[in-house]
Structure 1
Amino acid sequence: MATVLLAVLAPGQAQCASQRLYTFEHPAMATVFRLSLYSADAARAAEVSSEVFDEVDRVEQLLSNYRESSELSRLNQEAVKAPVTTDPEMMDFLVQSAHWSEVSDGAFDITVGKLMKAWGFYRHQGHVPPAAELDQLRTETGWRKVQLDAARRMVRFTAPGVELDPGGIGKGFAVDAAVRVLRADQVRAALLSAGSSTLFALGAPPHRRGWRIVVPGPLPRNGTLSMVTLRDESLSSADCSQKNFVLDGHLYCHIMNPRTLRPVEGRIQVSVIHPSATASDALSNVAFVLAPEQTVRTLAGYAPQASALIVSVDGSRPSCAVFRWRAPVDHAHCEQAMPLMH
């Protein structure tokens, strides 16, 4: 679960000359996708929205780990038995996932689905698994247990029990696919959000430099942490404050550290901006797991266009760290934002 991302429209911005703002919503991927676009024609806007949401549904059918008919479910069932040939789009998804796993030294990992179940986050029933269960999960978790032959589109799991879970990158992948539909339809200004986790700002509203996006602060204070202007960019946020459980006085976050098999400690919220929604989605998880200094090395080395806002807690007062973040940070939510340098 990520923090809510809000678009701010200035007075009079919703209508300019022949362009009007139309907004549509569609349930998919266990959330609600929201599309706002400028168009001169209501019927055309509705037609475009239908095409966009059809594309989201198509990607969901590819990546769903809840549908037995999905390509991802087929791989989960068969890739441990023998190498499996998959389609080009699924291979692209797996290659991108493996890339972010490799450059983050496993901070991002699409094999953590069983960890989420073991810690009780799928059914919203918090549970601390015993050591023996974690030992078993270690044999079934790890991105290196997924072997890819991109040239032949072959996938093989090298250990029994491995399961792919698209939760940390799938919505971004769907958003990128949908944005390609918008571009093909020659839409010049649109904002597409995948629930509260990832959005993409295409072009800019009339007479604006871009889409103004509010990044709320962590709960319970909420409010505005920062406001950024995006144009042809994505923003993804990962947030611990909205999905967690408390047991024996200890708070457990739903975002997993794949290397320790335990929920991340000390991080509250992360937002990452990048031209690719797939990348920003994955990198928001990377930045949540890694220490801020390690995040900077990853972003500087492998995502030079990215910027990040990281909220951590050590004691009672949250602290903020920023890397190439282009907007002010409201100090009501944390101490003065510390710039991170490479």
Structure 2
Amino acid sequence: MGTEFSIDIYAHNQSEADRAINLAFDEVDRLEDLLSNYRPSSELSRISREASNEPVTTDPETFRFLQRAFYWSARSEGAFDITVGPLLRAWGFFFQGGRIPSGSELVSLRSKVGWQKVILDSQARTVSFSHHQSMELDPGSIGKGFAIDQVVTMLHGLGVTSAFLSAGGSTLYAIGAPPGTTGWPVNIPDPIHPGRIASRILLKDSSLSTGACTEKFFIKDGHRYCHIFDPKSLRPVEGVLQTSVIDPSATDSDALSTVVFVLDPTLSRRVIESTPGRKALVFRRPQTHQSCLNMNWPGDPCGQA
């Protein structure tokens, strides 16, 4: 995952808070060993290497992670897809400044991308690639949320009742609220008007994830290319600047921030409104139809946009 985590905890004394924070970071490191595609020794990297040759038996936790990832692939009709690792490399988003692959490169990559090529056998707890070609599973669009949910469960077990967790600033979770308040304050930046705040919310016992084309991108011949891909076209998504999603699960809010980024507004709204309590705020480029889309979001941020 390679993500910077931060944790703020309110506890009865400093030693309790320090112990909880140390255990939380140990848990993050343990999950990195399972799910990081930057670590060749991780369980996810082993699956990417070996599942083309034979079914790979994995541990229950990694399998549960993959089940949820592919649940969102099915639910979004492929808009969410953790098999896009080869696309990120081809477009220069791994340790490069960005590049535009040729049409023939993209054609050759099509056989290596696609969630339906991955077979999960829940009884044997195995993962295999149906076309017997190597693939690269990238957890970047859901791994942060999964890690946060695991840490939240651990903190609850330690009796923590007030904490705020951040994975790279893009996926957040609020346990309870600071003493004397009703929630943890979170500001959503306005990507259309830099420097402005689009929405101020109070987060409590819930998660918020944001996907944005304002930080990870490159510009070629005056055109901006975003790091979030449409798996069907094999190209970066066009026209969307930022999506924010609130959901009780950090795993789901992380995945949904990508789902809503990739899907068209009608389908996105259908997914968001299918579950009570789920909310989304979407900013598209000003020249596109409906530059601000409010899907159950608190307040009236689009009225201010």
TM-score above 0.5: yes
Match of 1:177 in 2: 150
Match of 1:281 in 2: 254
Deviation at 1:317, TM superposition (A): 9.6
Please tell me whether the aligned partners of residues 224 and 330 of structure 1 are also in contact (alpha carbons under 8 angstroms): no
Deviation at 1:291, TM superposition (A): 1.1
Matched, 1:74 2:46: yes
Match of 1:238, SS state, is strand
Q: Out of 224, 228, 235, which is 1:251 matched to?
A: 224
Match of 1:57 in 2: 29
Greater shift in the superposed pair: 121-130 or 47-56: 121-130
CA distance in 2 between counterparts of 1:125 and 1:208 reads 44
Please tell me whether the aligned partners of residues 62 and 72 of structure 1 are also in contact (alpha carbons under 8 angstroms): yes
Match of 1:151 in 2: 123
Deviation at 1:154, TM superposition (A): 1.1
Q: Out of 182, 202, 218, which is 1:209 matched to?
A: 182
Deviation at 1:220, TM superposition (A): 6.4
CA distance in 2 between counterparts of 1:85 and 1:48 reads 32
Deviation at 1:81, TM superposition (A): 0.3
CA distance in 2 between counterparts of 1:314 and 1:209 reads 34
Match of 1:24 in 2: none
Match of 2:167 in 1: 194
Please tell me whether the aligned partners of residues 36 and 192 of structure 1 are also in contact (alpha carbons under 8 angstroms): yes
Matched, 1:163 2:136: yes
Percent of residue pairs bearing the same amino acid type: 48
Matched, 1:107 2:79: yes
Matched length: 304
CA distance in 2 between counterparts of 1:325 and 1:206 reads 25
Please tell me whether the aligned partners of residues 207 and 247 of structure 2 are also in contact (alpha carbons under 8 angstroms): yes
Match of 1:313 in 2: 285
Match of 1:59, SS state, is helix
Please tell me whether the aligned partners of residues 48 and 185 of structure 1 are also in contact (alpha carbons under 8 angstroms): yes
Match of 1:83 in 2: 55
Q: TM-score, normalised by structure 1?
A: 0.86
Match of 1:156, SS state, is strand
Please tell me whether the aligned partners of residues 62 and 70 of structure 1 are also in contact (alpha carbons under 8 angstroms): yes
Q: Out of 234, 238, 241, which is 1:265 matched to?
A: 238
- CA displacement 1:33-71 (0-9 Å, x = unmatched): 111111121111100000111111111110011212111
Would you tell me which structure has more helix in proportion to its own residues?
2
Residue 136 to residue 331, structure 1, CA distance change in 2 (3 Å): same
Matched, 1:47 2:19: yes
Match of 2:266 in 1: 293
Match of 1:31, SS state, is coil
What are structure 2's unaligned runs of at least 5 residues? none
Residue 82 to residue 45, structure 1, CA distance change in 2 (3 Å): same
Match of 2:10, SS state, is strand
Deviation at 1:219, TM superposition (A): 6.8
CA distance in 2 between counterparts of 1:217 and 1:39 reads 34
Please tell me whether the aligned partners of residues 192 and 283 of structure 2 are also in contact (alpha carbons under 8 angstroms): no
What are structure 1's unaligned runs of at least 5 residues? 1-28, 335-342
Match of 1:133, SS state, is helix
Please tell me whether the aligned partners of residues 2 and 38 of structure 2 are also in contact (alpha carbons under 8 angstroms): no
1:263 counterpart letter in structure 2: P
Please tell me whether the aligned partners of residues 256 and 263 of structure 1 are also in contact (alpha carbons under 8 angstroms): yes
- CA displacement 1:79-100 (0-9 Å, x = unmatched): 1101111110011000000000
Q: TM-score, normalised by structure 2?
A: 0.96
Please tell me whether the aligned partners of residues 86 and 155 of structure 1 are also in contact (alpha carbons under 8 angstroms): yes
Match of 1:39, SS state, is coil
Could you list the structure 1 runs, at least 4 aligned residues long, displaced by more than 6 angstroms after superposition.
none
1:77 counterpart letter in structure 2: R
2:130 counterpart letter in structure 1: T
CA distance in 1 between counterparts of 2:154 and 2:293 reads 35
Match of 1:252, SS state, is strand
Please tell me whether the aligned partners of residues 233 and 276 of structure 1 are also in contact (alpha carbons under 8 angstroms): yes
Deviation at 1:265, TM superposition (A): 0.4
